[in-house]
Structure 1
Amino acid sequence: MCGRTTHNMTWEEIWSLYTFGKPPKRDQPNTYHDNWNVAPTTINPVCRLDKSGERDIAMLRWGLVPSWAKDLKIGMSCINARDIDAAGVTVANRASFRGAFKSKRCLVPASLFFEWRKGANPKEKQPFAIGLRDGTPMSFAGLWEWWRDPASSEEYETYTIITTRPNALMAQLHDRMPVILAPEDWPAWLGEVETTPEQRMSLLRPYPAEQMTAWPVDPRVGNVRNNDAGLIVPTGEPLAA
């Protein structure tokens, strides 16, 4: 599960991350701003290829809505896409995602993401902030889709984050983790080089635990109305990988 993230990068920094230092192609959109508590249904930046095959930053809604969906509601059940589900069905073959897995793959930038660890009392959960040990941004493997509302004809572009089995660090918090792709894997995932479905599936693996860190944070992060830098301040010692 990955249901809450942060992106405290400037518009220029996001462009630079994916375009090797090149300046943005366009001005910062009104929908982009620092967000310390990114939640599903919000509009967020993703990196994908444009029609000319160049990397582009687009603002998409979190919660993938397949092109055949009747309404937006399905998006809340598609904020994540499991690499392989309990029945053995892969993201490459699941009806909601197979079209996007074939030709609409993207990278979702994040500074951190949050996960909650259950305590002795099931009602008490401790949130943790998780990121890369060197402090650099993460890029999650994502899928995107285009959908038109049959009632209003309004058009939406939406995305999902792919999850996989946990590494040793994340296993202390949850049985899933988002797929974090290293820069050398971006060309294959985005489609800048030809790949087979099997090669793309091989990229969906746990990120090395020794390169990640996690620390407890204030439970205020559980309320999406709270959105400030204090949400990521440590309230205790980090987990041992």
Structure 2
Amino acid sequence: MCVDIAFHSDIQITKEAFPGLVIKRTPAYSIEFNEQILGPLFPECSVIVSTDGRQEATTMEWGVFPTWITDRKERDIRRNNQLNLRSEKIFTETASLAHKLRKRRLLIPVNGIYEHRKVNGIKNMVPYFVFYPDGKPFYLPGLYQQASVVDNDGVVTENLSFGLLTTGANTTMAGIHNSGTNKHRMPLFLTEEMAQSWISASLQENEMKEILAYKIPDKDLEYHPVYSIRGGKVRPDGMPKYTLWEWPGLPPLGQDNAQSSLF
């Protein structure tokens, strides 16, 4: 699952890709929080939607809210499983949540995503930061839900929540996301042109299928290992979480046994 993203750029920079963008709302988080936005917290995230013919930047909660579940613990477990939605299910499983939400499309602006790699001989999973070569924000596709939710006090509120679309991994991402029940998956990375089309109200089903079938070339992704992003550990060098961290003995992707030092 992709449950860690980073969006540390000012939302204003997205106007370079979306010149007519109306910035309606932005999350009130610290720069440090935005260096690693953790999905299982169900945080408010910046998203871009098309509303009444105009593109808007607003916020929605990450993790599609399961409105039919009243037990909070059970609801959070189910919601955690809806942080990601499999893109393949949109047109192949009509009973799936992805199919039901297929007309509610959005984009999640990010500077990059985090994913963990298992390496034999290294005790902990090695986290990687994956980003586009130009270093600019890019836009991941997702689907959203608008629903009436009753809180613990019985108050009804309108809830907007989304799931991030995933697909089968390319060679690079398969080398990084190489373990776990959802291994060899990755976000549906898009070109900027595809991202623009994704939220267009005029998008046709055949065009949508073309976008969903896209697999980003390996050369169009950059990546490097980073310091631990689990357990609240602070980087010893004080650098942002997404910056390079050298792991001793870390082998190249595809070679999953740690290298021993010769000295």
TM-score, structure 2 length as denominator?
A: 0.77
Structure 2 residue 168 is matched with structure 1 residue 160: no
Structure 2 residue 227 is matched with structure 1 residue 218: yes
Unaligned runs of 5+ in 2: 178-183, 255-263
- For 2:181, the equivalent position in structure 1 comes to none
- The 3 A distance-change label for structure 1 pair 43 and 239 is farther
2: CA distance, partners of 1:61 / 1:120 = 36
- For 2:37, the equivalent position in structure 1 comes to 38
1:62-73 equivalence runs, <5 A: 62-65=62-65, 69-71=68-70, 72-73=75-76
1:120-135 equivalence runs, <5 A: 120=120, 124-135=124-135
- The 3 A distance-change label for structure 1 pair 238 and 83 is farther
Unaligned runs of 5+ in 1: none
Aligned pair count reads 230
Q: CA deviation at 1:42?
A: 0.6
Cα deviation, 1:116-164, whole Å, max 9, x if unaligned, reads 0012258520000000112121211111111222443122100111000
1: CA distance, partners of 2:234 / 2:159 = 26
Q: CA deviation at 1:182?
A: 1.3
Structure 2 residue 98 is matched with structure 1 residue 97: yes
- For 1:76, the equivalent position in structure 2 comes to 80
Quick check: 2:109–2:137 contact (8 Å CA) kept in 1? yes
Bigger radius of gyration? 2
Cα deviation, 1:148-193, whole Å, max 9, x if unaligned, reads 2244312210011100011121110120110112121134311332
Structure 2 residue 207 is matched with structure 1 residue 172: no
- The 3 A distance-change label for structure 1 pair 160 and 96 is same
Three-state SS of the structure 2 residue aligned to 1:230 is coil
- The 3 A distance-change label for structure 1 pair 39 and 163 is same
Quick check: 1:65–1:146 contact (8 Å CA) kept in 2? no
Quick check: 1:216–1:238 contact (8 Å CA) kept in 2? no
